[in-house]
């Protein structure tokens, strides 16, 4: 019996201690919340500053001109003087195929042409002789026609032999491939001695090199449909590269797709931004951030955006802006007009002056009955009364 009493006493003490600890913990959380709320700024001073508003987008940097180099004829790689990262000038050799078989075919075909020329000369002599004899009525019509046919066949044979030689010489030219423009080698998946197929064969031929002009780069960006209307052709945009901190590049809008596509579940438009003469540290595949200027204002009266309130005026059926301005120890509700704004500040075109203090919260309880500025009073809503219902509640 005594043990049971001790056990009950311990349980009661433990339960009371636990509930006391939970209550203390809740009080600490409440105190922290109050302290945090008290530490937040509730007012700010209107100042003169410059405002820049821009829309951001991200894209990948790729070469403006990139070419997959493949041979047009079959063969074996005999020379491959370039490697990954090499800069190649326009007209310099990139690779050469073994052309010994084609050289042999070229020699054989030249011999065939010489033979066709001799046969043509013989056929022409026979035809001329038969023509004279036929005119003198010394040979039959059939003999004359046969000689004429042999002469025409000899001409066709020479023409075909010449075409075959031209084809071989054209293939010989294709065994030597030079750079089509100043470029840099990006990839080289093959080695010297490897047999390669021409572009007219299986799988469009063997890729020997990938080259690109790294002097001109482009950014393929996906612009949100809400922002694409702010883009126009030849517009300058500011570009930063994540891999090169502090570097800023000016790009130019070269192309905007006419139709929207969905990328990463976001509907937008593909845009092509051209970068000219970029820093050598910038390379294809890097991620770039694009800043599209929308609006700007220099040295204007600016108020924190949190101090600008909005309400709907049922009489004008328009949204109106106002701010709570400190006047002595009280707060004055004043109508304002705003211009350019960004995510933090708004340009105030009328209603405020630099140096005035504005509030971040509604000061209706501490507001004056009427504004001090008569010019502003005419645009302020009338105070609430039975004849004049209370204005609609304000929202940020």
Q: Which residues pair with residue 52 across a beta bridge?
A: 296
Name the CA radius of gyration of the chain, rounded.
43
For range 71-98, the mean pLDDT: 93
| pTM of this structure | 0.58
pLDDT of 371 strictly over 50: no
Lowest mean pLDDT among 167-176, 195-204, 352-361: 195-204
Going by C-alpha positions, the residue among 385, 358, 353 that lies closest to residue 304 is 358
User: How confident is residue 390, by pLDDT bands cut at 50, 70 and 90?
Assistant: very low
| Domain architecture of the chain: domains with CATH | 71-96+177-207 (2.40.50.100), 99-174 (1.10.287), 216-294 (2.40.30.170), 298-377 (2.40.420)
Task: Give the pLDDT score at 370.
Answer: 41
pLDDT digits (tens, 9 = 90+) for 2-28: 565 565 555 555 555 666 666 766 666
- What is the structure's pLDDT at 208? 94
- Structural contact between residues 347 and 300, judged by C-beta atoms closer than 8 angstroms: yes
Count CB neighbours of 288 within 10 A: 25
d(CA 76, CA 108): 21
């Amino acid at each position: 019996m005594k043990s049971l009493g001790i056990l009950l006493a311990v349980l009661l003490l433990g339960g009371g201690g636990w509930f006391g600890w939970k209550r203390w913990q809740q009080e600490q959380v409440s105190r922290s919340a109050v302290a945090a709320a008290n530490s937040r700024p509730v007012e700010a001073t209107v100042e003169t500053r410059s405002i820049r508003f821009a829309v951001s987008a991200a894209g990948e940097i790729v070469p403006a001109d990139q070419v997959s180099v493949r041979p047009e004829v079959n063969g074996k790689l005999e020379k491959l003087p370039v490697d990954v990262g090499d800069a190649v000038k326009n007209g310099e050799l990139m690779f050469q195929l073994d052309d010994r078989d084609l050289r042999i075919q070229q020699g054989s075909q030249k011999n065939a042409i010489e033979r066709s020329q001799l046969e043509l000369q013989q056929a022409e002599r026979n035809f001329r002789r038969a023509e004279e004899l036929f005119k003198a009525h010394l040979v039959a019509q059939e003999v004359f026609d046969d000689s004429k046919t042999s002469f025409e066949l000899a001409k066709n044979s020479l023409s075909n032999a010449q075409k075959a030689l031209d084809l071989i010489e054209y293939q010989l030219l294709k065994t030597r491939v030079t750079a089509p423009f100043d470029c840099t080698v990006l990839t080289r998946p093959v080695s010297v001695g490897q047999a390669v197929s021409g572009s007219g064969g299986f799988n469009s031929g063997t890729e020997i090199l990938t080259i690109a002009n790294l002097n001109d780069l482009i950014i393929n960006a996906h612009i949100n449909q809400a922002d694409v209307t702010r883009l126009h052709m030849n517009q300058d945009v500011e570009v930063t590269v994540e891999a090169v901190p502090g570097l800023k590049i000016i790009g130019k809008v070269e192309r905007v797709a006419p139709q929207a596509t969905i990328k990463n579940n976001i509907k937008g438009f593909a845009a092509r931004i051209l970068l000219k003469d970029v820093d050598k540290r910038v390379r294809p595949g890097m991620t770039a951030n694009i800043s599209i200027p929308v609006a700007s204002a220099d040295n204007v009266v600016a108020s924190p955006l949190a101090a600008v309130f909005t309400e709907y005026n049922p009489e004008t059926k328009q949204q109106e802006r106002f701010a709570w301005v400190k006047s002595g120890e009280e707060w004055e509700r004043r109508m304002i007009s705003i211009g350019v704004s960004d995510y933090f500040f708004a340009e105030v075109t009328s209603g405020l002056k630099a140096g005035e203090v504005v509030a971040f919260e509604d000061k209706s309880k501490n507001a004056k009955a009427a504004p001090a500025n008569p010019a502003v009073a005419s645009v302020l809503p009338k105070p609430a009364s039975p004849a004049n219902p209370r204005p609609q509640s304000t929202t940020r």
